[in-house]
A and B are shown apart, each in its own frame.
Chain A
């Protein structure tokens, strides 16, 4: 089955700097890659997603890139702010199955 690896597990960046979180997936049939932000004790919230027919997608300070050949995708957050502090999960889903497989998460700390 699909396996999603996520790195790093913890990331600290200075406020205003950029943060990058990387994920790899194992199943080449995967074609949908959402990213979720989860604050402590709350539900995961979708922040951006990308489908396999697109290499990059951007929404204000957040961008996601996808390299299908290498089977990896990344989340980029620019001009980080204190409210960006949270746990971020990448995930992958594939044709013919509604299941989403999550990475283990990255705890992002924005330092003042």
Chain B
């Protein structure tokens, strides 16, 4: 149980285009999902917390107009990188929280984004 999928697994795009990444909880409902960014040889940095049916909460320094998050259902959250630039190239990982309270987060397999 507690499987989280992400799509696509990797994407290459031109500078200035937008990229959408999907995060799905396959066998459970996730009231909360999290989006992380990980640069090579660095830790996971939380970008935003996504709650179903409400606006995402962004961490300090993360541009909400650039990284659009939509959590439209209890099993799907999307991250759209708008007007992507080479510095946005990174490994993006989502995770899902099964229930409220102190629960383990289950991670998706990640999406590697390369902006040319």
Contact = CB atoms under 8 A, between A and B. Distances in A.
Interface stretch (A13-21, A44-52, A60-68, A73-81): A44-52
B48 to A, nearest CB: 10
Interface residues of B, number: 22
B107 A44 contact: yes
Nearest to B103: A98
B49 to A, nearest CB: 6
Contact of A99 (B42, B46, B93, B104): B46
Contact of B108 (A34, A43, A101): A43
B32 interface: yes
Contacts, number: 49
Nearest to B106: A46
Contacts of B109: 42-43
Given A43-B108, A51-B102, A103 B93 contact: no
Interface of B: 32, 34, 41-46, 49, 91, 93, 97, 100, 102-105, 107-110, 112
13 contacts: A34-B105, A41-B91, A41-B110, A44-B107, A49-B104, A51-B102, A93-B102, A98-B34, A98-B49, A98-B105, A100-B34, A101-B46, A102-B43
Interface of A: 31-32, 34, 41-46, 49, 51, 89, 93, 95, 98-105, 107
